[in-house]
Structure 1
Amino acid sequence: MNAETGSEADFRPHSSHWGVFTAAMRDGELLVRPHPGDPDPNAILQNFPAALRHRARIAQPMVRRGWLEAGPGPDPRRGRDEFVPMAWDAVLDLLGAEVARIRDRHGPGAVFGGSYGWASAGRFHHAQSQIHRFLNCAFGGYVASVNSYSSGAASVIVPHVLGNYEALTKHNVTWDQLAQHTEVVLAFGGMALKNAMVAGGGISEHVERPAMKAAHDRGCDFILLGPLRSDLPEEAGAEWIANIPGTDTALMLALVHTLVAEGLQDQDFLDRYTTGWAVFERYLMGREDGQPKDAGWAAPITGVPADTIRALARRLHGKRVLVTVAHALQRAEHGEQPVWMAAVLAAALGQIGLPGGGYGYALGAIGYYGRRANAVPGPTLSQGRNRHGDYIPVARIADMLLNPGMTYRYNGQTRTYPDIRMVYWAGGNPFHHHQDLNRLRQAFARVDTLVVHELAWTATARHADIVLPATMTLEREDIGFSSHDPLMVAMHRITEPFGEARDDYDIFAGLSRRLGVEEAFTEGRSSREWLRHLYARTEQALRELGHPAPDFDAFWEAGTLALPQAPDDGGPWRAFREDPEANPLPTPSGRIEIFSETIAGFGEADCPGHPAWLPPQDVPRAGTPLHLVANQPATRLHSQLDFGEHSIASKRRGREVACLHPADAAARGIAEGDVIRLFNERGACLAAAHLTTGIRPGVVQLATGAWYDPEDPAEDKPLCVHGNPNVLTRDVGTSGLAQGCTGQLTVVEVERFTGNLPPIRAFDPPMTV
């Protein structure tokens, strides 16, 4: 990528989840320049040039041959069938008839509106907004999903015990506060820059690395607790305590036990700002079960020496301490517990609500956490009203498709899975997000029709019955906006669409026309007219604040617009600390609920009324002696543009890289760069080995996002030759409370692969007839 060969006038503004940039086409080559005001630009931008016209792009509408010949219905050939190209009018006629059939025969309870994923930084062409608006117009509603794979457990437990999730993550401790005030950062699971480098709606300034460096240079101590040393950047100068994966709750319990046993807890804070401490303390000190949760108890569970735990607890007393918990910790069995227990630890230290202190849940997990909020709203496309109202926790899609009519527990309710006949997906790739992919293949085989809008041949598109080619963000106009980034971006179209690709909006407009709901969906506006309409909300808000408020044409010509931001005042948590009676938390007690009568009343054995150590079932044993950490990738956002140059360059021999400790490698005869096979009872995949002392012995790490590439799709459990760890992870919920995703951790064995290396076909288009 050479961004210096184009003239300045050629470059036009655009945005992505991984950064604001300008781009130009010169002699058929895409040139990309990061936003000049970004102190730490994200190299994921380098994926755009090679991806733009890659062979993996979908050039025209396709229909799966088996569905076209036999009609709608369950079919195990999904994922390995041929496709038939069709003209747009013909395929929209076909799809319109199928949508009408499902609507008229089965109703809105038979269609699942998928679209889970990071579709676009643009607020109008955001695929989730487009598809949900369409389904509400066409069906009057649909079966939706709630929560996220990223924070499924946290987003359910937090409202019960801490109140508003948005307030905890977005209106609490900022990076500026950390740089100026924090004395100790206790980072459970770290604050990996690869996670903070992305943000929904776009990001113009990546401030995390400079903030951590400023704090460290000032004398702040960063303490990383987790199996991967890379989960804090070098600039933090972190001390590394490598506990066993999934044992953070036990470690936190032991820290609090030490504080209490030595009289170091802030009892005044606990008495004034929390409820249920006495109940929890009985458990903590062992008065309930005869087992104190002390450092000696925690040492064999966590792999951290008891003296280290006790010394760490003493270091925290009297300091401005910020406790952070990565999303990763709650993507595991009993994922609710570390989120809850970290709040108890922060409360015991008495730092909650102070500048740079307290509990910064998920700080560093995503780019718009830890930043000031914008003082004005941004453009938002109304999705309409879902009058059907049924939903599932997002990570339970395979359970739903495989078990219609089965009951399950969620957030105190007993719910029933609907009977889904059509899955309509626009934006996102469940063959990245979901676990136990062989089970997911079985689930998708059971529906009547799977429709996918996609720009490239992901595994989800390969399993679809109708595939509609969608534009990439560079091929359309939009407005980039994040609620916590001060720059609004006029996203100009950089190049023409690939092949016959269309915007999701145009696809749904054409489909709406065939279903008689075009006016309800489009409201008579073109895409550009929608941008003008949506921008007016921000323009009006700016005018009311007395801030410069250019009209749409002036904004579009300028390319960017600096937005005013709210003050960094600590938000609801600072107000709560200053006066808990006048500013109570939105919990039943108005306080931090260390013991929750509500949760206790749900009667879930796997989520009791106070945080507790609940031993996981998925632990190393004979046959699967290693922990697998399946974390987020560094060179792409989830699986997006895995075929881009930056992502491809991170692979070895074309395969994803798995990290393991030299001692574990030596015991298995594995050398640096070897292709290895990771396997358990659910499946197997290949990866390239990288040996490092920056990982705890007994742990192997393989990032998610490599496109699923089965060697023989006809097999029940085919080998993924590309390195997708979700052929190995378990498809079970965190607990009966949240039913969140548990894909972060599982157990595997690893061996050197000695056979003939199978070719990688993940980015090759499927066969067509």
Structure 2
Amino acid sequence: MTQSVFHWGAVRPVLKDGRVVRLAPFSADPNPSQLIDGTLAGLYSDLRILQPMIRTSWLKRTTGTDHRLGRGRDEFTAVDWPAALGLASEAIRRTIDRYGNQAIYAGSYGWASAGRFHHAPSLLHRFFNTLGGSVQHQQTYSYAAVQVVCPHVIGTNDIISGGSSTTWPSIITHTERLFLFGGLNQKKNAQVSAGGLLIHETTRYATVAAKKPGFRIYSISPIRDDTPDLPNTVWVPIRPGTDTALMLGIAYILIKRHKTDAQFLAQYTVGYERLRDYVEGTNGSPAKTPDWASKITGVSVDLINDLAMQMADHRTLLSSAWALQRADHGEQPYWMMIALACLLGQIGLPGGGVCFGYGSMGNRGVPRSPYGSPRMEEGTNRVGLRIPVARVADMLLEPGATIPFDGGEIRYPDIHMVYWAGGNPFHHHQDLNRLVKAFFVPETVIVNEPYWTATARRADIVFPVTTALERNDITASTMDNHLMAIKRQIAPVGESRNDFDIFRGLAQRLGVESLFTEGLEEMGWLNRLYAEVADRCSQAGHPLPAFEEFWTRGTLELPQAQQYHDLFADFRADPRKHALETPSGRIELWSQTIADFSLSGLPPHPAWLEPCEWLGNAQADELHLVSNQPATRLHSQLDAFGASASSKIHDREPLRIHPADAKARGIRDGQVVRVYNERGACLAGAVIDDGLLQGVVQLSTGAWYEPQTPGVPGSLDVHGNPNVLTPNRPSSLLTQAPTPGSTLVKVEVFVGELPPVRIHRPPEGSCKPSRQAKSPA
């Protein structure tokens, strides 16, 4: 089969005269992603970077001027590959010689491509590890807070993503009530998965479950269509950031009505008595009554009582979108949800308990093979320093400062070079005006990128990179049961090269080519990655065909997908034999470890902690901004193409607003509005929608950042990137996680001449021949 694979699905390219003219979805996929059309539109776009580019003022570096301040507004000079590789390798060697490897940040967060070999961040790390290492990142923007707290509470991060989960067949067979905090939007992140999906199955499974007689879904979210198109779904509108208070109110009812499972709490948890004292208010805090919870959440007392009894009287599975924890005190709702599942005593029962992320990644909960996805070997990083991903701007701006993290301390290094491959921090990162300032700090910024993103425009050296259609690769997702070949369809566009060849060229100039390549070319590495999975299968008695047969077939279903699996069933069956990896071996509703950290503002049990920004402390004209993931693109990938481009209003990202809030501000549907707070401002196109809780506006992430005055922090973003508005506050001193979900804004009709949106056009001079810089001697 001739195919290619993207995070949003497998496609069969149709070629004519050596050009791709159509991308057909995989024939067996019942729900192919709408992102496929944008993929083809981007392939030959003017936004492709066609040859190596050097920022002109970095190339000249005139004495007495600071070239770094030109990032984001300078022109670029086209150079040949020998010149570009020579300039980059010289800069790398100069940085290491002068400042050491700890002066290079190569964290390079981003989704990159679906292929596991041409996975840009892995290759970047491998390259620098052959030179002694670099500073890298830890955590993800997606679930950084819970990623740190869950191991303390329940001993694993399987409950969040990847690994094992309570499967949909078990939910369909056994679950009676499914509570989705933050919803399950199968039209958004459920259409994508790191490594790609051959078949999108979330919609099918969720629909079968929802249609089961007696089954009911509760979608607890400020946005109605966070769980769209599923029958038997009850929308529970709630103020953003108050889910923990709702769960505490439910816990109060369960305790007072003797609906808790005392045996489960005694046998499988520690710390229940202290949590109970907090819930009942006998420890000096207010009692977490339904009335208390209603005043915080906006959910009625009667509904809170009904939710509690629905949980207690039925086989119940609690779940949450990852977005819930991207907020002030984001650890708390996840910890409290685990605690609530413990009170119900259903953890480990078929179709019961708690498991997160069913709508946050495609095919979460679909039965999967245990033999996993291949992974490119990165080698050993001798620097050994990893920075929390949301603290990158702080690291650049505050060298030498220290921060607490997970009970320890991290000291920020003095970074002189940033190398980014396979990502766009000017999408992911919060408080972009602060990031603009941070990108003025390094002496050199190098970026590998196919398109002229906001990050590429702020680089000193830009290497043009191929897309999946222009190279061979192999892929598999932790959410899919297939190993898939990605086959090159066309020659590289322009002078683009794949990341492996770029890093091999740099490694050659720096004397480490053999360490980097290990003597293997592209197909040799693909054979080796395939062998990694084949060896695991063979050892388990499930031999796979030879690589050549797999490559000819194109797709291979992996064996032993477990249809019925319930998270923590083994722990429930034998809590001693299958003790959790917590200090007690049990679920920790009160954590002595966290108590011993003595972190300000972080109690050792789940608690309601008032956010810094929420509707409870908003001014009369402030609204709560929900900057969730888009349905029209993957983060910022494909923003300029297909469904994303079609969704724009006057070339701006759509902003949904409740009719009452629009009327109060004189806003009409389709008008361009200014969204602003003390951190920044952006323009967006108004969409009036009664499917939002009043007081809430929704502006998806991923619109390419475009300041009206490039290179000037604080300039109006004319395109609609919400991260010019989001705060730089960490969720807690434990996790240092991002908090975009705790953002208040004001919205007004934009008055004056609309500034043009140019970010979807290439920079001036980047598409025409330029003078070639000489290759270094």
| TM-score normalised to structure 1 length | 0.96
Q: How far did residue 568 of structure 1 move?
A: 3.8
Counterpart of 1:609 in structure 2 is 604
Distance in 1 between the 2:655 and 2:464 partners? 33
Letter in 2 for 1:151: Y
| SS in structure 2 at match of 1:234 | coil
- Which one of 616, 626, 629 corresponds to residue 629 of structure 1? 626
Structure 1 segment 25-44 matched on structure 2, within 5 A: 25-26=15-16, 28-44=19-35
Structure 1 segment 421-500 matched on structure 2, within 5 A: 421-500=416-495
| Equivalent residues of 2:44, 2:493 under 8 A apart | yes
Q: Residues 104, 378 of structure 1: CA spacing in aligned structure 2 closer, same or farther, 3 A cutoff?
A: same
Letter in 2 for 1:287: T
Counterpart of 2:774 in structure 1 is none
Distance in 1 between the 2:685 and 2:288 partners? 40
| SS in structure 2 at match of 1:165 | coil
Q: How far did residue 548 of structure 1 move?
A: 5.4
Deviations 1:179-218 (A, max 9, x none): 2221001111111111111111111222221222111211
| Equivalent residues of 2:705, 2:759 under 8 A apart | yes
Counterpart of 1:54 in structure 2 is 45
| SS in structure 2 at match of 1:12 | coil
Q: How far did residue 73 of structure 1 move?
A: 6.7
Deviations 1:582-621 (A, max 9, x none): 2111111111100000011111122210001100111353
Counterpart of 1:7 in structure 2 is none
1:208 aligns with 2:205: no
Distance in 2 between the 1:47 and 1:237 partners? 33
Distance in 1 between the 2:397 and 2:673 partners? 32
Deviations 1:51-90 (A, max 9, x none): 0011111011111111111179772221111111111001
Q: How far did residue 523 of structure 1 move?
A: 0.9
| SS in structure 2 at match of 1:323 | strand
1:688 aligns with 2:685: yes
Distance in 1 between the 2:169 and 2:538 partners? 28
Range with greater deviation from structure 2 (150-159 or 620-629): 620-629
- Which one of 278, 281, 284 corresponds to residue 283 of structure 1? 278
| SS in structure 1 at match of 2:180 | strand
Counterpart of 1:725 in structure 2 is 722
Distance in 1 between the 2:602 and 2:285 partners? 20
| Equivalent residues of 1:243, 1:303 under 8 A apart | yes
Letter in 1 for 2:46: R
Percent sequence identity over aligned pairs: 47
- Which one of 75, 78, 92 corresponds to residue 82 of structure 1? 75
| Equivalent residues of 2:636, 2:702 under 8 A apart | yes
Counterpart of 1:243 in structure 2 is 238
Range with greater deviation from structure 2 (658-667 or 644-653): 644-653
Range with greater deviation from structure 2 (394-403 or 199-208): 199-208
Counterpart of 1:135 in structure 2 is 128
Distance in 2 between the 1:36 and 1:505 partners? 31
Q: Residues 339, 237 of structure 1: CA spacing in aligned structure 2 closer, same or farther, 3 A cutoff?
A: same
Counterpart of 2:654 in structure 1 is 657
- Which one of 150, 153, 158 corresponds to residue 161 of structure 1? 153
| SS in structure 1 at match of 2:687 | strand
| Equivalent residues of 2:372, 2:477 under 8 A apart | no
- Which one of 762, 767, 776 corresponds to residue 765 of structure 1? 762
| Equivalent residues of 1:398, 1:440 under 8 A apart | yes
Counterpart of 1:6 in structure 2 is none
| SS in structure 2 at match of 1:456 | coil
- Which one of 64, 72, 77 corresponds to residue 55 of structure 2? 64
Counterpart of 1:16 in structure 2 is 6
Range with greater deviation from structure 2 (687-696 or 66-75): 66-75
- Which one of 529, 533, 536 corresponds to residue 538 of structure 1? 533
Distance in 1 between the 2:392 and 2:369 partners? 35
| SS in structure 2 at match of 1:615 | coil
1:199 aligns with 2:190: no
Q: How far did residue 708 of structure 1 move?
A: 0.5
For structure 2, the residue ranges without an aligned partner over 5 or more in a row are 771-777
Deviations 1:363-400 (A, max 9, x none): 22112421333233443221000111011101100010
Distance in 2 between the 1:108 and 1:73 partners? 24
Counterpart of 1:745 in structure 2 is 742
| SS in structure 2 at match of 1:317 | helix
- Which one of 136, 140, 147 corresponds to residue 144 of structure 1? 136
- Which one of 385, 390, 399 corresponds to residue 385 of structure 2? 390
Letter in 1 for 2:127: F
Structure 1 segment 583-598 matched on structure 2, within 5 A: 583-598=578-593
Counterpart of 1:104 in structure 2 is 97
Structure 1 segment 178-193 matched on structure 2, within 5 A: 178-193=171-186
| Equivalent residues of 1:12, 1:24 under 8 A apart | no
RMSD: 1.6
Deviations 1:520-579 (A, max 9, x none): 001111112211222122333444444452222211111111111342453660000111
Range with greater deviation from structure 2 (305-314 or 339-348): 305-314
| SS in structure 1 at match of 2:371 | coil
Range with greater deviation from structure 2 (694-703 or 69-78): 69-78
Deviations 1:338-385 (A, max 9, x none): 010000111111111112111012222112421333233443221000
Q: How far did residue 518 of structure 1 move?
A: 0.3
Range with greater deviation from structure 2 (698-707 or 576-585): 576-585
| Equivalent residues of 2:35, 2:633 under 8 A apart | yes
Counterpart of 1:4 in structure 2 is none
Distance in 2 between the 1:168 and 1:143 partners? 26
| Equivalent residues of 1:624, 1:680 under 8 A apart | no
Counterpart of 1:704 in structure 2 is 701
Distance in 1 between the 2:261 and 2:421 partners? 50
Counterpart of 1:5 in structure 2 is none
| Equivalent residues of 2:166, 2:567 under 8 A apart | no
Q: Residues 29, 518 of structure 1: CA spacing in aligned structure 2 closer, same or farther, 3 A cutoff?
A: closer
- Which one of 648, 662, 665 corresponds to residue 668 of structure 1? 665
Distance in 2 between the 1:202 and 1:715 partners? 38
| Equivalent residues of 1:76, 1:442 under 8 A apart | no
Q: Residues 290, 57 of structure 1: CA spacing in aligned structure 2 closer, same or farther, 3 A cutoff?
A: closer
Range with greater deviation from structure 2 (670-679 or 33-42): 33-42
1:526 aligns with 2:527: no
| SS in structure 1 at match of 2:125 | helix
| Equivalent residues of 2:349, 2:566 under 8 A apart | no
| Equivalent residues of 1:174, 1:568 under 8 A apart | yes
Range with greater deviation from structure 2 (642-651 or 628-637): 642-651
Distance in 2 between the 1:512 and 1:634 partners? 39
| Equivalent residues of 2:481, 2:561 under 8 A apart | no
Letter in 1 for 2:205: A
Letter in 1 for 2:503: F
| SS in structure 2 at match of 1:153 | helix
Counterpart of 1:220 in structure 2 is 215
| Equivalent residues of 1:179, 1:215 under 8 A apart | yes
Deviations 1:229-283 (A, max 9, x none): 1111212431111110000000110000011111111121111111000011111
Range with greater deviation from structure 2 (563-572 or 162-171): 563-572
| TM-score normalised to structure 2 length | 0.95
Distance in 2 between the 1:196 and 1:162 partners? 25
| Equivalent residues of 1:710, 1:720 under 8 A apart | yes
Distance in 1 between the 2:438 and 2:560 partners? 46
Distance in 2 between the 1:449 and 1:267 partners? 60
Letter in 1 for 2:75: E
1:230 aligns with 2:225: yes
| SS in structure 2 at match of 1:204 | coil
Q: How far did residue 168 of structure 1 move?
A: 5.3
Distance in 1 between the 2:325 and 2:508 partners? 44
Q: Residues 627, 168 of structure 1: CA spacing in aligned structure 2 closer, same or farther, 3 A cutoff?
A: closer
